[in-house]
Amino acid sequence: MIEQMSEHRYLTFALGKGRLANKTMELLEEIGITCEEMKDKNSRKLIFVNKELKLKFFLAKGPDVPTYVEYGAADIGVVGKDTILEENRRVYEVLDLGYGKCRMCVCGPESAAGLLRHHEMIRVATKYPNIAKDYFYNKKHQTVDIIKLNGSVELGPIVKLADVIVDIVETGSTLKENGLEVLEEICPLSARMIVNQVSMQMEPERIKKLITDIRGRLN
Ligand code: PRP
């Protein structure tokens, strides 16, 4: 009876809108999970259903994905490790999906290297204040002034708002084109699958099979 009920329950995925969601749907398609109505690129719809497989997908802003998963509005989420670290939600991180690879770094002009080395009181501009705080306070034991920005963080040192930035570096071209460089590496990043803690208890078979299938595909 319980088995039957769980077969009828929808499993809901929250995906970070954009490239990450597209990559994830490509990967899911390889293990036989498709969602035809999601393929219409002109659609402004945010929620999509596959009735046969009893799956729902919704597109959320990346930083909100761990929130939906923690509260159980989604059973499963796909989001960057940067967001997982920054949001620090109570979710299980179950799989490194391997794509969306980049690095979280401290960057700035070459001249700022000495300020870091000597643990000077510096200003750090970032979209990721929690990651920056954890790195400077807990790992480096350096007191800094953290300034939250919402994007185009590379502007910070150029317009003298900050000495350095904490930001994602993928190809390094944004830094290069703005006369900045990587000064310290904080951690590697990539897309991860996260799972709601209660969903994991309620639907262990379905979720574990999904993880196994994806892992098999990635290998
Ligand atoms: C990200 C990141 C860097 C850039 C790094 O910004 O914040 O600015 O990409 O990529 P690169 O090393 O390949 O140049 P995003 O494009 O997400 O926009 P944002 O500045 O609004 O955050």
What 3 state SS string does 85-152 have?
Answer: HHHCCCCEEEEECCCCCEEEEEEECHHHHHHHHCCCCCEEEECCHHHHHHHHHHHCCCCCEEEECCCC
Give me the tens of pLDDT residue by residue for the chain, a chain 219 residues long: 444 444 569 999 999 988 999 999 999 999 999 888 888 878 888 899 999 999 999 999 999 999 999 999 999 999 999 999 999 999 999 999 999 999 999 999 999 999 999 999 999 999 999 999 999 999 999 999 999 999 999 999 999 999 999 999 999 999 999 999 999 999 999 999 999 999 999 999 999 999 999 999 998
Give 162's DSSP letter: -
98: alpha, beta or left? (left if phi > 0; alpha if psi -120 to 50): left
What does the alpha-carbon distance between residue 17 and residue 85 come to, in Å, rounded to a whole number?
Answer: 18
**CA-closest residue to ligand 1 atom 7:** 168
Mutate to test the pocket of ligand 1, among 174, 176, 177 (most ligand atoms within 8 A of CB): 174
Residue 127 alpha carbon, nearest atom of ligand 1: 22
What does the alpha-carbon distance between residue 20 and residue 191 come to, in Å, rounded to a whole number?
Answer: 8
Cβ–ligand 1 distance for 169 under 6 Å, the answer yes
Contact 211, 94 (CB under 8 A): yes
Closest Cα to residue 180, out of 133, 134, 111? 111
Cβ–ligand 1 distance for 170 under 6 Å, the answer yes
Q: What are the residues facing 93 on neighbouring strands?
A: 194
Please tell me whether the overall predicted TM-score, pTM, comes out greater than 0.85 for this model.
yes
Mutate to test the pocket of ligand 1, among 170, 176, 182 (most ligand atoms within 8 A of CB): 170
Residue 169 alpha carbon, nearest atom of ligand 1: 12
- Return the sign of the alpha-carbon dihedral for residues 60, 45, 217, 205: positive
